[in-house]
């Protein structure tokens, strides 16, 4: 996923083209989503209430009485701003975030802090800002609402780089973020932005909210393989110097304890000292191999001649960096020998820490191939044991389904696992490594843990499948005791829920919606979920402004029983007497599910549907957040992509919707979705007639290591070849359009060109669009790419051949 800052200008143009393309048509579904901001004391919160397309008011809600009122005198403030030469009206103020922590309202306008007491406006320095919290994992952008902005603040003394993550998860280079500077970026609600080093290392990722947000990034960088610190150890502590581990005693005497360190296998700088100060663990590591990928920038801005670009990019089967925890006796000033039998083939290790008695150091070992995940205990005697262990025949979804929490003052440890076939939480006794009890249990999954009350021995979690007779993927909040009793679903209402806690976690606001239902927001208590006050409601007719409601549909999958969920979007001029070709937007990446659940504009989907198609999105087997069995369909089998479920779903939908034409089905997608789209016409050509594949990882041996080994396994075996679009290129029977950016640093662009070569050798016709200077997702992030894809489907599914169309491939015609 790492991107290097290669050529900013072409990539910047790509990002700008997408954003400008969206802003051209004033958002057809204008909506300010409910977004509460709690007072630090927790007694109230404020939010912006939309009045019409261009008007809003700031409201405060008393969390005890439920009384709502304007947060300040809007007319008086607008008048005061106008006197300052700042254009404003009472329903259209030039800011979207207010600070209510003081007795008067504060805000920022054009970077300047101001305070209004109801009559006078004055300049102030201390304004509490809307600091955005970085995402735990990078996620695709969502079209969740209208325009907003993010102010990126770089507090480090070096230049950084900024990327926008599009709606299919593709990273588009946006531009530089100068050292010790700020940059205000105009974006859209739900869009995701990444800041990283200019060499491609990711520092943090944020999602833009309704209000202007501040994304701060500075000197502190956390390595995936463990945090490093350059702080010199105090007396009586271990430290690293010259590739070896040393100890300094109370008198200041320094003694070298290790002898095995070298420039090739150094020790990391972080030292994990035991609570009693008598022991320490330091990780020794062997760096990963070098694997360079080369790309030619054909049309650089600063010269006529092309440039060769080189990036470091590990692929499946390559040698990873290996960390090996080593134990040291600080009183004896020596290393304690320990066996590495239980962590001999790591993909990664993660620190857990010492037990309270300083008798054992613990860490998580993720075995290469991702079929074993264990907590390893390293005793001060040198003995090593498996404290907790999970094994799977297919894979362990370590990248999305890991959670640990130690209960202070006890040996209790919360561990997330799919050992019973569903993603649940378990309470372990770390002394003897046994399960005390399963905390959550049933045919639902735990998505994440909100927080744990260690004293009350309760936890709150986000789950899917918690409410019968609802869409399985609806997110709900629940509370449960650590002994597994007292499961209580706190959110009510048929829809997917989001919530925001009061500072003391005794109350929360609950907002829910669906693609076919407007948002509704209420205030609830955190114990039983009792509704205390209705805060805000939306109107679906107003939000849609004449557009047709997206339709939810569920039908059995390939096995005839498992519910498969999807949505159907009709064109705005829909005529039930006509038959429409179907276009599926596909992304079958096993890391998540992808069918929208909450109300959102669905802008790109509607643009395609309005051209004369029925647009569908479906989550088939092999995608995430259902049972382990459902997920395992993808194991060593990414070519499956849930196609049998998708086809069964479309057939079921068309059986009662005669306007859906199953003889004209197209599909498009980018990245993993690009692989899926091409696979549709290579492996399922009897059903899919046309496919547009953007920046596809068409052969999993060519793509990034971490994502592909997670699902395809290690070592690289025949399953990789079996899922390759390159090997299947000879099977092409329908129409295929391939798009690639020549500077794609997410997916090696040679992956697309190898499909081109295989199609050429097989004497197959195809369409190819290469974007000079383009990065990952050039088909979806450029105006040309989106237009060419739509023209492609109009030609092959509607019979509308574009006036200008350059075909590339065997037998191509102009």
Q: What CATH number has the domain bearing residue 702? A: 3.40.50.1820
pLDDT, tens only, 536-590: 998 888 888 788 999 999 999 999 999 999 999 999 999 999 999 999 999 999 9
What separation in angstroms does the CA of 381 have from each of 259, 260, 329, 378, 629?
20, 20, 10, 8, 41
Q: For position 232, what pLDDT does the model report?
A: 36
In the three-class reduction of DSSP (H, G, I as helix; E, B as strand; rest coil), residue 121 is classed as strand
Q: What's residue 545's pLDDT?
A: 79
Q: Domain for residue 279, yes or no?
A: no
Half-sphere exposure of 90 (CA within 13 A, CB side): 9
Look at phi and psi of residue 85 and say left if phi exceeds 0, alpha if psi is from -120 to 50, else beta. Answer: left
Q: Omega into 715 within 30° of 0, i.e. cis?
A: yes
Q: Distance of CA 560 to CAs 422, 618, 641, 680, 750, Å? A: 21, 16, 18, 21, 39
Provide the pairing of β-strand 563-569 with 121-123. Answer: unpaired
CA distance 458 to 452: 6
- What are the tokens at 220? 């502190």
How many domains would you assign to the chain?
A: 2
Query: Which segment of 55-59, 380-384, 428-432 scores lowest on mean pLDDT?
Result: 55-59
User: pLDDT tens for residues 329-377?
Assistant: 999 999 999 999 999 999 999 999 999 999 999 999 999 999 999 999 9
Q: How far is CA 731 from CA 674, 702, 754, in A?
A: 17, 21, 15
Pick the last residue of a domain from 166, 194, 223: 223
Least confident of 13-22, 106-115, 237-246, 383-392: 13-22
In this prediction, residue 190 carries a pLDDT of 85
Which run of H or E residues covers position 414? strand 412-417
Question: Is 356 buried (19+), middle (13-18) or exposed (0-12) by CB count in 10 A?
Answer: middle
pTM, two decimal places: 0.87
Structure tokens at 591: 């890391």
Q: What is the 3-state secondary structure (H, E, C) of 520-539?
A: EEEEEECCCCCEEEEEEECC
92 occurs within a structural domain: yes
- 3-state class (DSSP) for residue 795: helix
Alpha-carbon distance 107 to 121, whole Å? 11
Q: 325 pLDDT band (50/70/90 cuts)?
A: very high
Average pLDDT in the 738-758 region?
Answer: 97
Of 145, 109, 142, nearest to 34 (Cα)? 145
Give the single-character DSSP code of 730: G
DSSP codes joined into one string, 204-251? EEEE--SS-EEEEE-S----TT-----PPP-TTEEEEETTEEEEE-TT
Under 8 Å between Cβ of 375 and 386 = yes
Q: How many CB atoms lie within 10 A of CB 330?
A: 21
**Among candidate residues 223, 244, 275, the one where a domain is terminated:** 223
Sequence-ordered alpha helix ranges (H) in 713-763: 718-722, 750-761
Contacts of residues 45-54 at CB distance under 8 Å and 24 or more positions apart, as own/partner, are: 45/502, 45/509, 46/71, 46/98, 46/100, 47/535, 47/536, 48/96, 48/210, 48/211, 49/536, 51/91, 54/91, 54/92
Q: Answer whether residue 754 is part of any domain.
A: yes
Average pLDDT, the chain: 90
* pLDDT tens, position by position, 517-543: 999 999 999 999 999 999 999 888 888
Within a domain: 596: yes
Q: Can you say how many angstroms the Cα of residue 89 is from the centroid of all Cα atoms in its chain?
A: 38
| DSSP secondary structure code for residue 548 in this structure | P
- Per-residue pLDDT tens for 666-680? 999 999 999 999 999
Cα(525)–Cα(506) distance, integer angstroms: 6
Matching residue, tokens 């927790």: 42
Domain range spanning residue 659?
547-798
Q: Which residues pair with 534 in a beta bridge?
A: 522
- pLDDT exceeds cutoff 80 at 480: yes
pLDDT of 659 above 60: yes
The kind and range of the H/E element at 404 are strand 404-406
Closest CA to 780 of 172, 296, 174, 188: 172
Reading the block at residue 596, the tokens are 């929208």
- Measured in degrees and rounded to the nearest 5, phi and psi for residue 712 equal -100, -15
C-alpha distance from residue 386 to each of 13, 340, 343, 583, 726 (Å): 52, 11, 10, 50, 42
Q: How many angstroms separate the CA atoms of 3 and 262, rounded?
A: 31
pLDDT band with cut points at 50, 70 and 90 for residue 144: low
HSE-CB for 134 with a 13 A CA cutoff: 15
**Helix (H), strand (E), coil (C) string for 303-365:** CCCCEEEEEECCCCCCCCCEEEEEEEECCCCEEECCCCHHHCCEEEEEEEEECCCCCEEEEEE
**Exposed (0-12), middle (13-18) or buried (19+): which is 81, by Cβ within 10 Å?**
buried
Q: What is the CATH number of the domain that holds 29?
A: 2.60.40.780
From the list 523, 508, 522, 585, the residue with the least C-alpha distance to 143 is 585
Of 218-227, 782-791, 796-805, which has the strongest mean pLDDT?
782-791
Q: What are phi and psi of 216, to 5 degrees?
A: -100, 140
* 546: Cα separation from own chain's centroid: 32
Measured between alpha carbons, how far is residue 105 from residues 73, 89, 424 in Å?
A: 10, 17, 44
Q: List, edge to edge, every strand of the sheet that includes 346-354.
A: 346-354, 360-367, 372-379, 384-391
**DSSP-based three-state secondary structure for 12:** helix
pLDDT at 225: 27
| Cα separation, 597 vs 510, whole angstroms | 16
Residue 24 phi, psi (nearest 5): -60, -50
CA dihedral 516, 522, 528, 530 (to 10 degrees): -110
Q: Are 172 and 166 in contact (CB under 8 A)?
A: yes
Taking alpha carbons only, the member of 783, 592, 609, 556 closest to residue 673 is 592
* Cα dihedral value 268, 274, 278, 279, nearest 10: -40
Mean pLDDT of the 768-796 span? 92
Per-residue pLDDT band for 812 (boundaries 50, 70, 90) equals very low
Least confident segment among 12-26, 384-398, 691-705 = 12-26
Higher-confidence position of 773 and 146: 773
Q: Is residue 257 part of a domain?
A: no
Mean pLDDT for the stretch of residues 735-748: 96
Cα–Cα distance for residue pair 738/695, rounded to 1 Å: 8
State which H helix or E strand residue 546 sits in.
none
How is residue 125 written in tokens?
Answer: 């320095």
- Give the domain-ending residue among 223, 238, 263: 223
Cα angle, residue 269 at apex, residues 266 and 273 outer, rounded to 5°: 120
User: Which residues sit opposite 283 in a β-bridge?
Assistant: 325
Tell me if 593 is assigned to some domain. Answer: yes
Question: For 164-177, how does the pLDDT look when each residue is reduced to its tens digit (9 = 90+)?
Answer: 987 766 678 888 99
Residues facing residue 175 across a β-bridge: 162
CA atoms within 13 A on the CB side of 523: 26
Whether 706 maps to a domain, the answer reads: yes
The verdict on residue 277 lying in a domain is: no
Three-class DSSP labels, 686-711: CCCCEEEEECCCCCCCCCCHHHHHHH
């Amino acid at each position: 996923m790492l991107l290097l800052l290669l050529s900013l200008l072409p990539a910047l143009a790509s990002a700008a083209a997408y954003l400008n393309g969206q802003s051209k048509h004033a958002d057809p579904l204008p909506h300010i989503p409910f977004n509460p901001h709690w007072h630090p004391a927790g007694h109230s919160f404020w939010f912006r209430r939309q009045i019409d397309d261009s008007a809003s008011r700031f409201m405060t809600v008393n969390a005890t009485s439920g009384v709502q009122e304007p947060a300040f005198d809007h007319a008086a403030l607008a008048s005061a701003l106008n006197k300052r030469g700042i254009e404003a009206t009472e329903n259209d103020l030039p800011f979207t975030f207010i600070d209510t922590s003081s007795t008067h309202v504060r805000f920022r306008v054009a970077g300047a802090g101001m305070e209004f007491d109801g009559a006078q406006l004055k300049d102030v320095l201390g304004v509490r800002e809307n600091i955005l919290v970085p995402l735990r994992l990078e996620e695709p952008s969502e079209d969740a609402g209208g325009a907003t902005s993010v102010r990126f603040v770089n507090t480090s003394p070096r230049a950084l780089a900024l990327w926008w993550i599009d709606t299919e998860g593709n990273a588009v280079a946006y531009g530089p973020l100068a050292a010790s500077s700020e940059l205000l970026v105009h974006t859209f609600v739900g869009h995701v932005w990444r800041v990283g080093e200019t060499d491609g290392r990711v520092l943090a990722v944020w999602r833009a909210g309704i209000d202007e947000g501040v994304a701060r990034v500075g000197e502190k960088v956390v390595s995936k393989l463990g945090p490093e610190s350059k702080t010199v150890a105090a007396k009586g502590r271990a430290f690293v110097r010259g590739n070896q581990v040393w100890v300094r005693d109370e008198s200041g005497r320094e003694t070298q304890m290790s002898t095995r360190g070298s420039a090739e296998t150094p020790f990391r700088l972080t030292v994990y000292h035991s609570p009693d100060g008598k022991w320490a663990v330091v990780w020794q590591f062997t760096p990963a191999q070098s694997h360079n990928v080369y790309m030619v920038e054909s049309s650089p801005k600063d010269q006529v001649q092309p440039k060769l670009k080189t990036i470091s990019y590990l692929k499946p089967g390559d040698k990873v960096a290996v960390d090996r925890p080593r134990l040291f006796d600080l009183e004896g000033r020596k290393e304690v020998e320990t066996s590495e039998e239980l962590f001999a083939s790591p993909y990664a290790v993660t620190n857990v820490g010492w037990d309270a008695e300083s008798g054992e150091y613990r860490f998580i070992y993720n075995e290469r191939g991702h079929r074993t995940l264990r907590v390893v205990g390293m005793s001060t005697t040198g003995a090593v044991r498996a404290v907790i262990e999970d094994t799977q025949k297919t894979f362990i979804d370590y990248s999305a389904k890991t959670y640990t929490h130690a209960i202070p003052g006890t040996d209790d440890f919360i561990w997330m696992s799919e050992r019973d076939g569903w993603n649940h939480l378990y309470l372990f006794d770390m002394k003897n490594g046994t399960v005390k009890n399963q905390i959550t249990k049933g045919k639902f999954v735990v998505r994440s843990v909100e927080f744990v009350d260690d004293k009350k021995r309760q936890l709150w979690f986000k789950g899917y499948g918690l409410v019968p007779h609802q869409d399985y993927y609806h997110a709900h909040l629940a509370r449960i005791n650590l002994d597994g009793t007292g499961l209580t679903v706190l959110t009510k209402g048929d829809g997917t829920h989001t919530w925001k806690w009061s500072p003391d976690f005794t109350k929360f606001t609950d907002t829910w919606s669906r693609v076919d239902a407007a948002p509704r927001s209420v205030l609830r208590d955190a114990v039983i979920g009792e509704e205390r006050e209705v805060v805000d409601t939306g109107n679906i007719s107003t939000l849609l402004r004449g557009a047709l409601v997206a339709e939810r549909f569920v039908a059995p999958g390939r096995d005839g029983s498992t519910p498969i969920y999807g949505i159907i979007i009709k064109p705005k001029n829909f005529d039930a007497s006509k038959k429409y070709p179907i276009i599926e937007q596909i992304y079958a990446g096993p890391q998540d599910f992808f069918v929208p659940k909450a109300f959102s504009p669905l802008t790109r989907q509607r643009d395609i549907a309005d051209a004369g198609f029925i647009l569908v999105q479906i989550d088939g087997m092999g995608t995430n957040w259902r049972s382990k069995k459902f997920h395992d369909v993808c194991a060593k089998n990414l070519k499956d992509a849930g196609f049998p479920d998708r086809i069964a779903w479309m057939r079921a939908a068309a059986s009662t919707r005669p306007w859906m034409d199953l003889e004209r089905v197209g599909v498009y997608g980018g990245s993993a979705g690009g692989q899926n789209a091409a696979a549709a016409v290579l492996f399922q050509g009897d059903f899919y007639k046309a496919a547009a594949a953007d920046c596809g990882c068409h052969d999993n041996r060519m793509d990034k290591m971490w994502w592909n080994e997670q699902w395809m396994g290690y070592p690289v075996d025949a399953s990789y070849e079996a899922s390759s679009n390159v090997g299947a290129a000879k099977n092409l029977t329908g129409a295929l359009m391939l798009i690639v950016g020549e500077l794609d640093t997410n997916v090696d662009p040679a992956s697309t060109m190898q499909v081109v070569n295989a199609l050429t050798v097989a004497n197959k016709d195809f369409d190819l669009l290469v974007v000079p200077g383009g990065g990952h997702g050039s088909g979806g992030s450029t105006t040309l790419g989106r237009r060419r894809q739509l023209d492609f489907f109009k030609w092959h599914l509607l019979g509308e051949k574009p006036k200008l169309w350059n075909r590339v491939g065997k037998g191509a015609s102009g």
